[in-house]
Amino acid sequence: MKLFGFLAAFATAREVEFDFNADSSDRTGTNNVNQNVMFYAQVAGLDFLQFNEKQWQYGCWGQLNGAEARAGHGEALDVIDQLFQDWAKCKECMDIDFEDTCDIDNVAYEVGMDPSTGRIECSGNVNCPKARCECDEALAFGIIDNWDAYNLENELQNGFDFDTACQPHPKNPNNGGGAGGSCDNVGDNVRRCCGEYPQRFPYDDKAGCMQCCDAASKIYNVNRHGCCEGILGTVGCM
């Protein structure tokens, strides 16, 4: 299900039952994502009145609710699970980028409506609240935009076996060779981030061997590649 056709008809938030003027203190934790999902669900005309708790117990990366909440790992099972994985990466980068400056799980933010796209927009925020708003909006829009791909068999309440289906990735024996060659640098590995919110993602810098080509939103091995004017090329590319 693609939302673009639906959204074109909604130039203002008044046309759906969603309070964009609500106190931003109400938009914290998983509640903010839930409200965003509900807005897009109403726009799309989906026939459920509430995005239930079961949707936050999905696949390898969406086990977010209740006593069974678990950190995600393993391969994303489908496009819905991939959205949850991307959201987890987005939040991890918030932890890295805004360390000790905000509580990323309880930060409040304000939302508006972009009349040109019909999507929730986050420009009324800055720094940590803006990043969290963008992470949440991308997840909410993606879930409803791909609702036809939602697989009931991946819900915990329907017998999904997290321990069997979601095996952690083995460590790469090439220590980063997957991005183009081995990394033999000696020193501390630092967790960094690359790209722009909400597609920002974390990576290990392998003691400086791996770096981010910001404009391209890609990481690269400095022993094999260079980043010149936002384009990946050979070492020392001109």
Residue 104: CATH number of its domain: 1.20.90.10
Domain check: are 38 and 141 in the same one? yes
The domain in which residue 49 lies consists of 32-166
Same domain, 212 and 153: no
Looking at the fold, whether 62 and 158 belong to one and the same domain comes out as: yes
- What pLDDT is attached to residue 11? 32
Same domain, 217 and 143: no
Helix (H) or strand (E) holding 113: strand 112-114
pLDDT, mean of each 10-residue run, the chain (238 residues): 35 38 47 86 75 76 80 93 96 93 88 91 95 96 94 91 87 44 73 95 92 89 86 75
Q: What is the dihedral of CA 6, 9, 11, 14, to 10 degrees?
A: -90
Whether 6 is in a domain gets the answer no
Q: Does residue 206 form part of some domain? A: yes
Regarding pTM above 0.85, the answer is: no
Identify the H or E element spanning 93.
helix 79-97
pLDDT at 216: 85
CA distance 48 to 54: 13
* 65 and 162 fall within a common domain: yes
- Determine the pLDDT at residue 34: 84
Report the alpha-carbon distance of residue 219 to residue 124 in Å, rounded.
30
Question: Residue 30's pLDDT is what?
Answer: 67
One domain for residues 140 and 36: yes
Tally the domains of the chain.
2
Query: Do residues 60 and 149 both lie within one domain?
Result: yes
Per-residue b or e along 28-63, where b marks 16 or more CB atoms closer than 10 Å to that residue's CB: eeeebbbbbbbbbbbbbeeeeeebeeebbbbbbbbb
